[in-house]
Homo-oligomer: A and B are copies of this chain.
Amino acid sequence: MSQTLDPAALDQLFREARTYNGWQDRPVPDTKLQELYDLLKYGPTSANSSPARFVFIRTAEGKAKLKPALSEGNIAKTMTAPVTVIVAHDPAFYEQLPKLFPHTDARSWFAENPALAEVTAFRNGTLQGAYLILAARAVGLDAGAMSGFDNAKVDAAFFAESGWKSNFLVNLGHGDPASLFPRSPRLSFDEAVRLE
């Protein structure tokens, strides 16, 4: 039976984790990205549809391709991050369902209902982006998510052939504590929760 994780793990995942604006000069090896994916892939999605697709940008060429799409305030930290992830989704994700959800014909639920396919891809791709953020923290990385960029420019630069759609970006690395602002307040339980 599961117990509450130890306090240090809860600190690392939630209570002490922060969105960094600057990075230490420490690389993130590709083996770490594989480790990260091999955790996040287990996060639950609707009908196991797993619509998210991830581009891990580590090279100067890749960063240069991304740069023109970034909001001014996101350029410096993204250019210096060891890895920037484009969290995207495949609008035709349902073509994988015969493999991912083999016990029934789930493909037809989405192939025949474009509106359902679109909201499912966005909702579940976003869930998987959150799993990536928390899996990164679980493997000892810091993560900084951003939606301040031009999605259409990213899609044109990276997904002209695949047809994938960008959702948001996540910088990965080892954060520089000097780059942190004080933590902003959160809504209280009574403000955000109703009990029924």
Contacts and interface: CB of A to CB of B under 8 A. Distances in A.
B134 A196 contact: no
Interface string A138-169: 11111111010000000000100000000110
Contact of A193 (B44, B54, B167, B174): B54
Interface residues of A, number: 84
Contacts of A174: 1
A98 B12 CA distance: 28
Given A37-B192, A184-B101, A185-B99, A12 B5 contact: yes
A165 to B, nearest CB: 12
A162 to B, nearest CB: 8
Interface centre among A2, A13, A126, A193 (most CB of B within 10 A): A2
A137 B2 contact: yes
Contacts of A10: 39, 138
Contacts of A145: 44, 46, 127
A17 B42 contact: yes
Contact of A120 (B33, B40, B130, B147): B147
Closest A-B pairs by Cβ, 6 of them: A130-B130, A62-B196, A2-B140, A126-B126, A41-B186, A14-B42
14 contacts: A6-B9, A9-B138, A14-B135, A17-B44, A33-B195, A41-B192, A44-B144, A46-B147, A50-B186, A53-B194, A96-B191, A100-B186, A102-B184, A129-B130
Interface of A: 1-6, 9-10, 12-15, 17, 19, 30, 33-35, 37-44, 46, 48, 50, 52-59, 61-62, 65, 96, 99-103, 120, 122-123, 126-131, 133-135, 137-145, 147, 158, 167-168, 174, 181, 184-187, 189, 191-196
